[in-house]
Amino acid sequence: MKFSLGANQYYWPKQKTADFYQQAAQSNADIIYLGETVCSKRRELRQPQWLELARELAKSNKQVVLSTMALLEAPSEVSLLKKYCDNGEFIIEANDVGAIELCHQNKVEFVCGQAINAYNSPALKSLLKLGMQRWVTPVELSKDLISAILTEMDGFNLRDKFEVETQAYGHLPLAYSARCFTARSENRSKDDCELCCIKYPSGRTADSQDDKQLFVLNGIQTMSGYCYDLRNDLASMKGLIDIIRISPQAEETFSILNSFIEQYQQPTFKKLADNHSNGYWHQIAGMLSA
């Protein structure tokens, strides 16, 4: 089993990002995903700086993957995506099929990110032909569905042609919109957002009127209100999942990573914290816990 740090979903000041990846370089993570995936206006780090950071991390014996945007609307966003897909050094995490098209044209291998709807084995077969080398499972897919899909891939003699990664910790990205909900929460429009996401290093929570933490607003992205937490399910990933993903948190990411590694090696039941859930893995509503 390998462990990865997914791309940071939030918008942090440059120094906080630099500090985070300095720690990441020394951490127990095997794979590190880097880059802005949510909003093209978030430019504390620009493309040359992300690449520089990627090269630094690669020196620490980590596999580095450049993550790309999930929702691409403007031609300028596609132009920037082209530069990433043609970087010549690192593989790409595609979070939109546009990135797959550009990787394929450039003969660059790619990771199929969790924002791409690859829900079954024929879809994975198509993606393998185009250069997919790793599949990050879509958030909605349960252990049983993933297992059924992989059994079908085994039947095609293709299971050993790619790795499988699943997010095991962190708020889940659940939706992408034209509208910026963080700006809306400050009564601004997107064009007048003043990059206010930077004030919320863990996003902003939206609660129901009976005080359940329903969503986390993170720019144009809506995340799960509860933190996805599969710490008690790691044993069931053996033989199924190749890479366990921890999504970067504003605090404590590396102690969480270490506790997951420990928990994988020596599973002991841990009561989930309040506002944590594991429903999707068990094929029930995502916010519930099995």
Partner 1 sequence: MELLCPAGSLPAVKAALEHGADAIFIGMNNETNARHFTGLNFNDKRIQQAANLIQQQNKDLHIAINTFAKPGEFAAWQYAVDKAVDIGAKALIIADMAVLDYASEKYPDAEIHLSVQASATNKAAIDFYRNNFNVSRVVLPRVLSLQQVKQLSRQTDIELEVFAFGSLCIMAEGRCYLSSYLTGESPNTVGACSPAKFVEWEQTEQGLESRLNNIVIDRYKDDENAGYPTLCKGKFKVDDNLYHALEEPTSLNTIDIIPELAKANIASVKIEGRQRSPAYVATVTRLWRKAIDSYYQDPENFRADPAWMRELGNISEGSQTTLGAYHRDWQ
Closest approach, Cβ 24 to partner 1, in A, equals 27
- Please list every residue from 93 through 122 that binds partner 1, using CB under 8 A: 96-102, 115, 117-122
Binding flag, residue 191, partner 1 (CB under 8 A): yes
Q: How far is the CB of 287 from partner 1 (least distance, A)?
A: 6
Residue 106 CA to its chain's centroid (Å):
23
Neighbours of 4 (CB within 10 A): 25
Per DSSP, 7 falls in state: P
Half-sphere exposure of 163 (CA within 13 A, CB side): 17
Question: Exactly one of 199, 212, 238, 270 binds partner 1 (CB under 8 A); which one?
Answer: 212
Regarding 286 and contact with partner 1 (CB under 8 A), the answer is yes
Decide: is 214 part of the binding site for partner 1 (CB under 8 A).
Answer: yes
Q: What is the distance between the alpha carbons of residues 289 and 269, in angstroms, rounded to a whole number?
A: 14
Among 30, 109, 140, 163, binds partner 1 (CB under 8 A): 140
Minimum Å gap between C-beta 62 and partner 1 is 28
Residue 226 Ramachandran class (φ > 0 left, ψ -120 to 50 alpha, else beta): beta
Output b/e per residue, 24-39; b: 16+ Cβ within 10 A: bbebebebbbbbbbbb
Closer to partner 1 by Cβ: residue 72 or 91:
72
Identify the residue among 12, 162, 215, 260 touching partner 1 (CB under 8 A). Answer: 215
Task: Report, in Å, the least distance between residue 279 CB and partner 1.
Answer: 7
Residue 137 engages partner 1 in binding (rule: CB under 8 A): no
* Beta carbon nearer to partner 1, 22 or 202: 202
Strands 213-218 and 221-229: antiparallel
Tell me how far apart the terminal alpha carbons of the chain are, to the nearest angstrom: 24
Compare residues 4 and 121 and give the one whose CB is closer to partner 1. Answer: 121
Contact between 196 and partner 1 per CB under 8 A: no
Find the shortest distance in angstroms from Cβ 274 to partner 1. Answer: 16
Tell me, by CB under 8 A, how many residues bind partner 1: 73
In terms of CB distance, is 198 or 214 closer to partner 1?
Answer: 214
* Rounded-to-integer distance, Cα 46 and Cα 197, Å: 17
Tokens 């002991």, located at residue: 268
